[in-house]
């Protein structure tokens, strides 16, 4: 999980229009959270999900 945070910081520093999203899923076994960081790098949209 630590490498995802490091990658997200690197991606955000190089991005135009950075955004952070949190996807939450609720099921019978509990709540699952999957953060997503996205932005534009050199004209391409890049997203990192953890």
* Domain range list for the chain: 2-49
**Tokens coding 37:** 């960081």
Model confidence at 48: pLDDT above 70: yes
- Counting Cβ atoms within 10 Å, is residue 42 exposed (0-12), middle (13-18) or buried (19+)? exposed
Model confidence at 40: pLDDT above 70: yes
For 3-25, what is each residue's pLDDT tens digit? Answer: 777 776 666 666 677 777 888 88
pLDDT recorded at residue 25: 85
pLDDT recorded at residue 11: 63
| pTM value surpassing 0.85 | no
12 touches 5 (CB < 8 A):
no
pLDDT recorded at residue 1: 58
């Amino acid at each position: 999980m630590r490498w995802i945070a490091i990658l997200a910081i690197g991606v955000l520093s190089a991005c135009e229009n950075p955004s952070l999203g949190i996807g939450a899923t609720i099921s019978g076994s509990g709540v699952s959270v999957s953060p997503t960081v996205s932005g534009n790098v050199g004209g391409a949209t890049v997203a990192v999900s953890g």
